[in-house]
Amino acid sequence: MTVLFSCQDDTLRLTTYEVHGIDVSHYQSYIDWEAVANEDITFAFVKAGEGITISDSLFSHNWKEMKRVGIIRGAYHFFRPEVSATKQAYSFIKNVRLESGDLPPVLDVEVTGNLSKKELVKSVKEWIIVIEKEYKTKPILYTNMKMYHKYFEGQLEDHPVWIARYNSRIPYLSPNKNWDFWQYGNRGRLAGIKGHVDFNVFRGTQHELEKMCVYYEPVLSFTKTQ
């Protein structure tokens, strides 16, 4: 993910928070997830796709590896407002099979596609409706703080928010709305990842993070007995 502002110094961990995470895509290449798990990383978001034609080449690999090492995993979709939101939602559904213990789907909104505020919000809600129906959970909205205040303040108030603010100052959304995840830097360093990675924190405890995850009732199979 990218935002308009970034710092040239390596991002230092915010030690005042209990729950730490990262977000990755194919740009990080192959990751040693066991090494990452040993770096006190509780959760990770991985890019699933973009628009309606792009699937991240390492999504499937990362998705399986995160589960294997016990990192709470989430998948995000990079939104292209100029193309059908419904088709983008079905593209995500095609790529991502959520399981109990996974975080809700994330819609990454960083560009407007020259849409008006009304048009952009309508398109985002169109994506969300399809996703909610499929996964039975409220998706997470990812955006930077400037875009949140310009386009989404007062909208989607019952959805979790993941806010990008590359600053030591805590993000502010509104008196009635708190952020759930904060992406506070894009130049983090971790064992297991070559180059930089985005650093994130969750606002609550690990138990609260786990409560945010999806849970599906197991499908019971009955064997007919003679």
139 touches 159 (CB < 8 A) = yes
Q: How far apart are CA 49 and CA 75, in angstroms?
A: 9
Distance of CA 56 to the CA centre of its chain: 14
Please state, as a whole number, how many other Cβ atoms lie within 10 Å of the Cβ of residue 196: 17
Distances 50 to 105, 106, 117, 190, 209 between C-alpha atoms, Å: 13, 12, 21, 26, 26
| 132 classed as catalytic | no
Distances (CA, A) of 72 to 5, 62, 84, 91, 126: 28, 12, 30, 23, 27
Q: Tell me if 126 sits within 8 A of 85, measured CB to CB.
A: yes
User: Which is the catalytic residue, given 18, 39, 110, 134?
Assistant: 110
State yes or no: is 180 an active-site residue.
no
Q: Please provide residue 199's backbone torsions phi and psi, each rounded to the nearest 5 degrees.
A: -105, 140
SS3 label, residue 174? strand
Q: Between the CA of residue 138 and those of 170, 181, 186, what are the distances in Å?
A: 24, 15, 26
Catalytic residues: 23, 110
